Amino acid sequence: MRLRSPLVTLGLVALPLLVSGCGVVGGSDGPAIQVFSARTYGAEQAYARFTEDTGIKVEFLNGTDAELRERLAAEGQDSKADVFMTVDAANLSLAA
């Protein structure tokens, strides 16, 4: 039996909860959510599984914490981000 990594398990549990509060946008390819992420390792498998299970596509924008915070600030209320993932609570606080 193959065990999942804790990150994949967390993603499979947390992403549906996060999405439930997001405005899932339907495009020509079906519904999708936008994930802005400074965490660039190991999450792709969880997102692929989420898409398999729900039919909701997960679209990524990866960057450094500073780059993503700058983009969020510039876009303001018009940001396309549904989920912002960062590497620590301090960066999340700065983004808030």
| The pLDDT value given to residue 27 | 53
Q: The tokens of 60 are what?
A: 């990524």
Contacts of range 71-76, beta carbons closer than 8 Å, 24 or more positions apart: 71/36, 72/36
Taking a C-beta distance cutoff of 8 angstroms, is the pair 25, 31 a contact? Answer: yes
Q: How far is CA 79 from CA 16, 58, 70, 72, 73, in A?
A: 20, 16, 11, 6, 8
Q: Over the chain (96 residues), what is each successive 10-residue block's mean pLDDT?
A: 50 48 55 88 85 94 92 93 89 88
| The pLDDT value given to residue 1 | 46
Q: How far is CA 19 from CA 15, 35, 51, 65, 75, in A?
A: 6, 10, 12, 21, 20
β-strand 30-37 against 83-85: which pairing, if any? parallel
Query: What are the domain boundaries of the chain?
Result: 6-13+29-95
Query: Which CATH number does the domain 6-13+29-95 belong to among 3.20.10.10, 2.60.120.10, 3.40.190.10, 1.20.210.10?
Result: 3.40.190.10
